[in-house]
A and B are shown apart, each in its own frame.
Chain A
């Protein structure tokens, strides 16, 4: 912990707090700051503003923080585990699994006829399907990782899951109505402002569990940077650490995908942005830094997507890709040797 790194973390925390308040003060409806503050404390006399702040903007801002930080952390863990700068939270096929679950629920009725036709597609069925989908893929990855010694093989298997999912989804979409396709496509756009407080608590519970596993893996992550053989000679239980890291990632990325949809590029780009700011490869510093930067970037992305003062809105994935994709391109162009 150098003084410089500590002070950067403190500054980032301050920025996060500012961004949080900026995020809940900005939106399509112009609400004066005094009302924003009184609404947070439940004393606003303007009924619809009170509802917008407390039941729409606050859960949305908190979701943005969970999504940004969670994806950033799982991206960091994956990049370390696979020693691959282009790994992200979804390399294990987590989002593919979630997409498949959602596709089966939304598009399945076209193929399975009456089985799903009467089932109401509520938010919960989508959340459950996405969680189940990512969990099953993860289970498969875990079983394979217990057998396979090479981490790269797991990476490739994750990518294969992605291809299989894409194939199944395209078959499903062929047999589904335009209405169902539309629902599925919109799920793919991702969304932050769709959670009620109850859902947010459940989301937060799963997220917190994932975060605990991530924090527990800090030391293992640092060791992994040295390479698996060296880590082994240091007495690290490779399989067990790998399992915990994968579990943490899947809890974080899986719950995020279930509740907010597949959010593009954040998990991939945030760790790289963070490494530019910190001259360290220690996960003790990188992890909180990624948490803060991920949350800040996501709050800013959301504010941009809201197009403050205009009634219009952009899908969140459009914004995250616009910010994330150039970072990835820049990485490839720069070809700087990554510190792993």
Chain B
């Protein structure tokens, strides 16, 4: 009947959380100061949180190493990032690297909406020439490019349109592998276009995920800018966290929803739970461990979460009515009765993409502020929710 075993659950989830990306709404990005950037920097890029990649610099080029492209990956990918004007002057042993990339990149294809905000923050979104599933992209800046035809539709990520991609001839493709290399890109790889596996989603904490902007910074020779942007996000995050930590009242929080009669919610070690912890709330499953989601029985969740003050991200439901229609058990929860249910599913872009899936990775500071605003309304008085909304 069904060949998908229970073991694949976390994977399915990772895949989903990951592939699902829609979006919309404008977001403010502070205009970054353009700094003069020397052709080759002589210092390695320092990373505070991210563990999945590293950038080292030798006398004539940078080496980008990706060592955790997917969960439990034992493959290491290395790429030589060479300045455009240096390229004719040096010789590089091709066999040592998985790809040689001329920087700054002029033509790029990315395959996840989570990569879009990084390009925009670095002000290089003009280099994007193709994307699979453009409807998922919500950022207005990039949508303009899609609408005027400068970003080509490449079909679906699982079955990317090889012909269009070959015709586009991007200098590189930034993608992600859920549990290994992406088979649909095999032909592209043999054609000589480097494929970089972005592992931001494998990182264990929200800030580590956001730090992958430095990976894009290296591709565009914009390290300082990437550092500055990340530091600002980090500072915002820490400030918000400090603000929340001073509150004594911790509301209890329930998350997720049921598929059939199994309730999926983030484990206590997940990045989502990290947000809740940093927002200084009492997530009822904060003590649990494990990769991916917890799959719990209805009765266990009911017993523990019946009286929770708040219910965050009830799966894909977009209204209280939809929740009620899906399963009458939901109406028994106090958070449902008191209309204390918050979801990011309604904040979507012009073509239906959920903004949270696009921008949430790059801007953990905004996600945290959303949670603080929801759980401690007295703080952050003038802040308007970016992703979440109180469900009607």
Name A residues whose Cβ lies closer than 8 Å to a Cβ of B: 27-29, 48-49, 51-52, 55-57, 60, 95, 120, 122-124, 174, 177-179, 182-183, 185-194, 196, 261-265, 306-307, 311-315, 317-318, 321
Contacts and interface: CB of A to CB of B under 8 A. Distances in A.
B327 to A, nearest CB: 7
B40 interface: no
A339 B15 CA distance: 48
Q: Top 7 closest A-B pairs, CB basis?
A: A191-B260, A193-B261, A28-B300, A311-B300, A264-B1, A122-B325, A186-B259
Contacts of A263: 1
Interface of B: 1-2, 4-6, 12, 15-16, 19-20, 156, 159, 259-262, 294-303, 306, 316, 321-322, 325-329, 332
A28 B299 contact: yes
Interface centre among A122, A187, A194, A261 (most CB of B within 10 A): A194
Contacts of A179: 16, 20, 316
29 contacts: A28-B296, A28-B300, A51-B332, A52-B299, A56-B329, A57-B299, A95-B1, A122-B322, A122-B325, A174-B159, A178-B16, A179-B316, A186-B260, A187-B260, A189-B260, A190-B260, A196-B328, A262-B2, A263-B1, A264-B1, A306-B297, A307-B297, A312-B294, A312-B297, A313-B296, A313-B297, A315-B6, A317-B1, A317-B2
Contacts of A186: 259-260
Contacts of B316: 179
A318 B325 contact: no
Given A28-B296, A120-B325, A262-B2, 15 more contacts: A29-B300, A51-B332, A55-B332, A56-B299, A56-B329, A122-B326, A182-B12, A185-B12, A191-B262, A194-B260, A264-B1, A265-B1, A311-B294, A311-B296, A314-B6
Contacts of B295: 312-313
Nearest to B133: A177
Nearest to A30: B303
A313 B20 contact: no
Nearest to A320: B1
Contacts of B300: 28-29, 311
Contacts of A56: 298-299, 302, 329
Contacts of B156: 174
A263 to B, nearest CB: 8
